[in-house]
A and B are shown apart, each in its own frame.
Chain A
Amino acid sequence: MTFKFKWEWLPQLVRGLGLSLEVTAICVLIGIALGLLLAFGRLYGRRWLSWPCRIYIEFFRATPLLVQLLMVYYGFPSWGISLSPFVSGILAFGLNTAAYQAEYFRGAIQAVRPGQTLAARSLGMTLPQTVRYVILPQAVRLVIPPWSNELILMLKYSSILYMVTLPDIMGEAKKLAAKHFNSFDVYVVVALFYLALVLVVTLGLRAVEKRLHIPGLGAPGEHR
């Protein structure tokens, strides 16, 4: 029952990890941009805008990410659009995280007390000014806890990308497992990688939150 670990596995796994991180970073950025648009569309848009946003958000939150990924990777080609694993991954993950982030942004914006807007308008600020100088600075601080959660979740779920043959850390792990006839041990190492990654990112986000903290401005009653 000895643990057959080989140091030479590491470089390959790390390379894969780099790709995992790259994909995660890109789709999180997509998620922020698209998520903000969806949140604004849902909150401030007229019916022809807010309804589609709502439907989009509901669909991408109620259906499994893996299904969405396979839809993009296998489904689109059957309609004539062929996408690489990399692009499929980014597209599927990006669309998915945008839906969740949209809800977090919406929640944060709505959590800014309406009195703040009233005070801003009564000073003579225009709506864009109100959003920029009063609502957003507060919403950003309020959204950090759920958003951090989202980031970590994306990191963990990036593990499924190997299913569309992306050579991320899991993809490399699979190759190693096949080569050495040893799935379990390889995956244990991968698990440890993820544990370390999650720890580092969690600590990093906590530091960011501390830095931005303003006394009295916190999300009501939570922090996982």
Chain B
Amino acid sequence: MTELLRVEGIHKRYGKEEVLRGVSFRMERGETKVIIGPSGTGKSTLLRCINLLTFPDQGQVFLEGHEVTHHKANINHLRASMGFVFQDFNLFAHLTALSNVSIGLLKVKGMRKEQGRARALAELERVGLADKANAFPAQLSGGQQQRVSIARALAMDPKLILFDEPTSALDPELIGEVLSVMIELAKEGMTMLAVTHEMGFARSVADSIIFMESGVIAEEGTPQALFTSPKHPRTGQFLRKITELYGEMGG
């Protein structure tokens, strides 16, 4: 079975508002899936329910057949095998880029210092930032910080990486460098689930796209299907609006 991730019937309520009303989907190994939709439809919340940064009120998540949401599950262990890239990067402000990438290896995976540092350096090189190893986050641009945070996620050898609007907090000229890294990862076969507004990326790299609205999945399908002949009326509306706003990226 190549199914890597299965999400079933996720419900989440904040106070009176039900943000997720029963979301289910599957992901295969090596698949790149993109979630799009209007703001506030619970996309970020959904991602956080997958690695349990937020606890769903109802529903289950399965990673390679193991139930993540089970009350006896070893959450830390499972989180270590899922990477998460935040919109605000969330690099550890008191550590250098290198230490940011290596800390998970040293403290969570228990690697020895030399090994951890070597691996961290390799990951930084992979995202093109080996020369910034000793810089602190405050000394890096937004794009660089985000690339370091991707390196941090990669170092843990995750089975799946979750991206929560990775480029939304970046200045336009910095978005490209982060998307390049993500495109490379997709080509290399990493399983990726990304919430993003970058339509060019979605169209050219995604294996499938989910359009979410009002807490449910309104439509799911290949990029061609959604972009050229969307089934749901709102899908078409949204895609038109957002493509106007953000412009198309060459694929």
Contact = CB atoms under 8 A, between A and B. Distances in A.
A124 B138 contact: no
Nearest to A115: B90
A195 interface: no
A214 B136 contact: yes
Contact of B90 (A118, A125, A126, A214): A118
Given A119-B92, A124-B76, A133 B107 contact: yes
Contacts of B149: 119
Contact of A122 (B79, B107, B137, B139): B79
B108 A119 contact: no
Interface in B58-79: 76-79
B51 interface: yes
A49 B93 CA distance: 31
Contacts of B76: 121, 124-126
Interface in A182-224: 214-217
B86 interface: yes
A163 interface: no
Contacts of B51: 122
Best-surrounded residue of A113, A121, A124, A141 (most CB of chain B within 10 A)? A124
Contact of B93 (A122, A123, A214): A214
Interface in B75-115: 76-84, 86, 88, 90-94, 103-104, 107-108
Interface in A105-150: 113, 115-116, 118-126, 129, 133-134, 137-138, 141
Interface residues of A, number: 22
B249 interface: no
A116 B92 contact: yes
Given A118-B90, A121-B53, A216 B107 contact: no
Given A121-B53, A123-B104, A129-B107, A215 B136 contact: yes
A214 B92 CA distance: 12
Interface of A is mostly: helix
A134 B79 contact: no
A220 to B, nearest CB: 13
A137 B94 CA distance: 7
A124 B108 contact: yes
A124 B91 contact: no
Contacts of B35: none
Counting chain B CB atoms within 10 Å of each CB, which of A118, A126, A129, A215 scores highest?
A: A118
Contact of A123 (B88, B103, B137): B103
B43 interface: no
B63 to A, nearest CB: 13
A133 B103 contact: yes
Contact of B53 (A113, A118, A125, A138): A118
Contact of B156 (A115, A124, A133): A124
Interface string B102-142: 01100110000000000000000000000000001111000
A119 B91 contact: yes
B92 A134 contact: yes
Contacts of A118: 53, 86, 90
27 contacts: A115-B90, A116-B90, A119-B84, A119-B86, A119-B92, A121-B76, A122-B53, A122-B79, A122-B83, A123-B156, A124-B77, A124-B78, A124-B108, A125-B104, A125-B107, A125-B108, A129-B108, A134-B94, A214-B136, A215-B136, A215-B138, A216-B136, A216-B138, A217-B93, A217-B94, A217-B136, A217-B138
Given A134-B92, A138-B94, 11 more contacts: A115-B88, A116-B90, A118-B90, A119-B149, A123-B80, A123-B104, A123-B108, A125-B108, A126-B76, A137-B94, A216-B137
Interface of A: 113, 115-116, 118-126, 129, 133-134, 137-138, 141, 214-217
